[in-house]
Structures are given as C-alpha cells and as structure tokens.
Amino acid sequence: MISGLFRYLVPVIYPLFPASTGVLTLVLDLDQILKLRSARPFDGTLNIRLRVFEDGQTASEESLDFEVKGGRTGAATITRTLETSKLGYAELHVEADSAVFYKIQSAPGYALLSGRNIGTLTVNADQKFANPRVIDEIKATGRFCMQHSACLVDRARNIGNSLLLINPYEQGLVAQILGPDGKRIRERVSSRYCSLVDLGRVVPDGVWSSYMVTGSNRVLTYDVRHPADRPLSPTSIDHLDVFSGVPTHQRMTLVPAMRRHVRNMLRHAGLAYR
Amino acid sequence: MPIEAHGGTREEPGWLCYCFDITKQDVLAHFARPDASYETLVDETNIATKCTACRLDLEVLLERVHLRPGATSLSGQSVQDHGRGIKVRQDLADVGFYLNTDQVMTVLRVANEGLLFDDVSRTVPYNYTVWVFSDRGKLCQKVKGKLGRREALTLSTEDLQDCPEYGWFLLDLEPTESNGLMGTVRPQMAVVGPDWTATVHTQLVSMACRYKSVLAHRTRGRFAIDISLINPNLWSAQVSLDVARLDGQVLACEEVSLPSRCAKIVSLDRLEIDRRLDGIFRVGVRSSLPVSKHVIVRHNDGSVSLDHFPNAK
C-alpha cells in the first residue's frame, strides 16, 4: 500500500455445490473493474487468479495476466464455469503490478448457479477479509456474530433450511449455531472445507425464527433453502448479515439533519415516500 | 490516535499474535512495503494460522491499512459517537415487493434480538410503520406498532385484508432511544410457496438507483426471470429494460412507463430475442428516477429465488 492506493482487491469467495446440483458461472468484466476501482487510467499488468477448493485441497487453479493500457485491457469479459464433486468454494484474486486501486472492496455483483433440474439461482460473493460490516461489528461489540431473521423449517411441508459454512482460512475453526430457544450446536470446519448444517437442529419446526452464528473465528456463511429431504438441491441461496455495529443514530450538520427530518415528516404524512 | 483493536495503541505497539511473536507495529511495517497484501503477510509471518485467536483483531487493525485517505472506517459509518453535530436517527425505510396468490404469499420479518440472543444492552426498541400499496399505487393498508427488545415482527400478506396479488410495501423503523446499535433489525422478506421458501433482504429506499445491471441465464430460449420495478417517487418514471450480450451488443429493449407509487413485473421472456440464443446475458435497467429493482427467478419445480439489484452506493 502506497499513498492510499492498493495493488489488490480483497479476495472474494463463491460457494460451489456438487456438479449433480449445478454449475457456477462467473463473469468478470475487467474493464468495468478497472473503471470502478482504479484511481486513474494506468499502464501495467492485471493478474486474475481463480482457485477452486474442495475437501481442503486446491482442485484447480488458473492465473491470467492482462496487459492494461490507458486503464483498459481490451479483453472481452471472462466467463468461467466451475463445478466440484462435493461442496467447495472458489476464491478470486484481482491484483495489479502497481498500486492503482483506491478502494479494496470488489464491485458488487453475483454469480449464477445453474441447476441440472431446478433452473438458475443467484449467488452473492463474500469477502475473505476486510468486510466493513464485520469490522464495524467487532469494533462495536468485540464479537463476531452473523444472523438471519427469517428461517423456516417445516418438515410436514418438506421445507428445509440449512446453513453453509465456508472456512477459506489457514486453520480449522469451530462455529456455534444458536437458535432462539437456547438450542446450540457446534460445528468444526477444517481449513479450506465447507459444511452444510441442518437448521432444523436449532430452530422450532413450522415457526419463523432467527438464528445466529458465532465461532472461535470468522467464518463465511450462506443461508440455503431446499426441500427438507434433499439438502443439496438448493432453491435459494442468501447471505447472512452481521449483528450490525452501526449506531441507530448518527451525527449530522444542520442542513442534512433538517433534510432528513423533513423527509421523515413527509413520509409519515403520506406525501412523499422516498 | 489509538488503534481500535484490543490491547494496544499506535504509540504502544502491543502484541497481536503471541504464537509467532508479532506486534501491531510489525503488521503496519509490513504494509508500508509496496508489494504488501494480506496474503503476503500471512505467507511470510504465519500470523493468525496457529491458534487463530488474533484474526479478528487483525481484521480491525487492517481497517486502518485499507482506509481511503480521509475516511474513518471502511463502511463509511462511524461506530463511535464523536459528539459533534446533531444526533439524527438513521434512515431505516426499506422497500420491497410482495406476491399474494392462492399458492404464494409473502412474509415480512424484522427481529430485534440481543447479541447472540443474550446481551440486549446495545439494542433499543423501535416504532414501525408498514405502508402496503397495490401495483397501481393505491395505499391498501398502513400497519403501525412497536418492536421491543427480544421481539420480532412477522407480517404475512395472508393477514392483510383485501391485499392485492402483487404490489409493494415500505417499512420504516424508528428507534425510540438514541444509544443503541442496529443489531438484527435489517428486515427480511420471504416469498413462501406450498413446499418452498425464498428470502432476500429488503433494500433501503435511499439505495434505489437509476441504472444497474445483473446477469441472467437463458436456456432453451427461455429466461424464466421476472424483473420487479417499484417507483416510490412522487413523479412518474420512464424505465428502459434491455438485454445485451456480454460484449455489450443489445439484443432487445422494452420501455415501461411507471406512474408514481406504482409497481410492475416485467418478464424477460416477453422480449423478442432469437429463440436459438442461449447463455449468459446482461440485463440492464435504466430509469429517469431512482427505482427499486428486484430479480425473481422462476424454477422448474415451481419455486422461485429472489435478489435485489446492487445498491446505489
């Protein structure tokens, strides 16, 4: 890091399901990444490294170098279709040969999981580290806690809900999953492994519930909806949220504070909702 | 200025990783190098790879390294009250769509739980208001209530009288005390079928934007994707929805007029595209005013999955 600029973007993680479930398609628009994240047009090299992990091992690895001139690669978008035989994950690094990025977070976007039987699901990426919301949470509470407030397990209707844990770090960890009624389970996730945990073990059946995840260390989490008898056939993949460390109130100068106040009044008077 | 991580300040380096004898100053010195990154730090020092107790502290320390010049946090939010300016509640007005048919209903859920279902010392009670609109902009219901600590709001379209089959809602959460954290109150909306559910976070109405694009997969000449558009503004919006190849070539475009406070679902399969064209496409939605946009993917088994378009910021 030199003078507020960075050589790299934070690596992002995508969950991978067994090939019998579906394949994940990633689309990278390099020129768009450079446009959104580089401080100025630059000449140099951009390296893209994509690694797929399965059972703690690197299942495949690809590294591509692109020549950048005037802030553009001239390359078309890169599309990759990824699949594994078991649960796994893909890790994507974007790195330049000099400090050019003014912000380390990757631009938002999602990948597509195309199922053999069901159709297509959207899948959000998660950041391996430097997630601003996680950092805010740790600063405010001193704890790591992820949560989801709309969990439903209803075995009579074959509605299942599971938690996908991904540990992309160098050491194993123990995650604790907590239900609203005091039930809790501990799940060990070895380094570079994934684990799918049935939430029916911690939440009451047939009732909308919340659940939380904490652990001996940070872990990446996804909420997976599926038929109760087929956990590896997801119909929806959602991210969890942190226990937000952001205060309910913020300090503002007079003009924005007045603007906020007027907007709230207009909204509650039914005059302007935005 | 002190570093926020536990047990040390910039002036007093403090141990970060006892397993490998690494101080906070060692980490900051590493990042003074031009080729430094998180990966090189871990490779060269083994920090956070033995007992791993220091990883969360390392994340907090690295925030300082990863900050943009002049910024105080990566998120742009301050978790500390510096005591300057007027204290104003966060704008917690969220917007989402609902489906309410014989087979499918929508549930809006907000939970106000303590940290790890235990510590409620940093949570505060809220007043909530939910406005439920039809797709034609008619206000059908207004639901108000209180959401105390350790309470949850579960509002289903089944519980609302004369709720249309499709429309949108606005949920405003008003914290009644000023010294709390937002904790778990980010709302979730769930669409529920006979044997499936799908959830997505609602999106702050302030995050509605004029242009965003998403990817869409077309197989056998069919997208099976609907785009939900919500115009919460006082004025009509003109919306242009286009499907393009990944190289940018636009294949089809549809113009939609969206009156004030109206919502509309547009099926991508309505757009005229050569049936032989399959693969990944980019769907862009451009509007004259900020409009909330969601993707509804219909699956072969009758279930759906949901997502909102990326936030404006």
**Residues B97, B188: one domain?**
yes
| Complete DSSP assignment for chain A | -BTTBBSEEEEEEEEE-BTTTEEEEEEE-HHHHHHHHBSS---EEEEEEEEEEETTEEEEEEEEEEEEBTTB-----EEEEE-BSSSEEEEEEEEESS--BS--SPPP-EEEEEESSS-EEEEE-EESS--HHHHHHHHHHSS--EEEEEE--BGGGTEEEEEEEEE-SSS-EEEEEE-TTS-EEEEEE-TTEEEEEEGGGTS-TTS-EEEEEEESS--EEEEEEEETT-TTS-SEEEE-EE-EEEESEEEE-HHHHHHHHHHHHHHHTTS---
pLDDT, average across residues B106-124: 96
Position B64 in a domain? yes
In a domain, B3, yes or no: no
Question: Quick check: is B2 in a domain?
Answer: no
B109 and B48 in a common domain: no
- Alpha carbon B49 to its chain centroid, in Å, reads 32
Mean pLDDT for chain A overall: 92
Same domain, B213 and B191: no
| CB contacts, 8 Å: B295 with chain A | 122
Same domain, B218 and B303: yes
Same-domain pairing of B123 and B216: no
Q: How far apart are the first and last CA of chain A?
A: 40
Residue B2 near chain A (CB below 8 Å): no
B62 in any annotated domain = yes
Residues A11-25: what's their mean pLDDT? 93
Give ipTM to 2 decimals: 0.92
Same domain assignment for residues B198 and B222:
no
Average per-residue pLDDT in chain B? Answer: 89
Residue B262's Cβ-count burial label (10 Å; 0-12, 13-18, 19+) is: buried
- Token pair listed for B134: 């039809």
**CATH number, residue B238:** 2.60.290.11
User: Based on the domain organization, do B269 and B186 belong to the same domain?
Assistant: no
Residue A265 touches partner B, C-beta closer than 8 Å: no
- φ, ψ for residue A209 (rounded to 5)? -140, 165
Does residue B1 sit within a domain?
Answer: no
> Which of the listed residues B165, B190, B205 is the one where a domain comes to its end?
B205
B254 torsion bin: left (phi>0), alpha (psi -120 to 50), beta (else):
beta
| Sheet containing A57-68: order of strands | A57-68, A44-54, A88-96, A8-16, A126-127
Overall domain count for chain B: 3
- Domain final residue pick, B87, B110, B138: B87
Same-domain check for residues B303 and B219: yes
Query: Quick check: A74 pLDDT over 90?
Result: no
Domain around B235: 208-308
CA distance B88 to B80: 14
pLDDT tens-digit map of B4-48: 433 344 445 588 888 888 998 899 889 888 788 888 898 899 898
Q: Which of residues 200-229 of B touch A (CB under 8 A)?
A: 200-201, 205-206, 208, 214-217, 219, 224-225
What value does the mean pLDDT take over residues B73-102? 85
Q: Do B126 and B112 contact (CB within 8 A), yes or no?
A: yes
Per-window interface: B 11-70 vs A, CB < 8 A: 31-32, 34-39, 42, 48-53, 55-56, 59-60, 62-63, 65-66, 68-69
Average pLDDT, stretch B296-309?
A: 93
pLDDT at B313: 59
Measured CA to CA, the distance from residue A180 to residue A151 in angstroms comes to: 11
Three-state SS for B208? coil
B248 CB within 8 Å of a chain A CB: no
Closest residue in A to B281 (Cα) is: A27
B109 and B200 assigned to the same domain: yes
B69 pLDDT band, cuts 50/70/90, is low
Output the pTM of the full model.
0.91
Pair (B281, B228) in one structural domain: yes
Residue-wise pLDDT tens digits, A22-46? 999 999 988 888 988 998 888 999 9
Give CA–CA dist B167/B178, Å, rounded.
33
Q: Is residue A171's pLDDT more than 90?
A: no
Amino acid B15: pLDDT: 83
Is the dihedral angle over the CA atoms A144, A189, A212, B172 positive or is it negative? positive
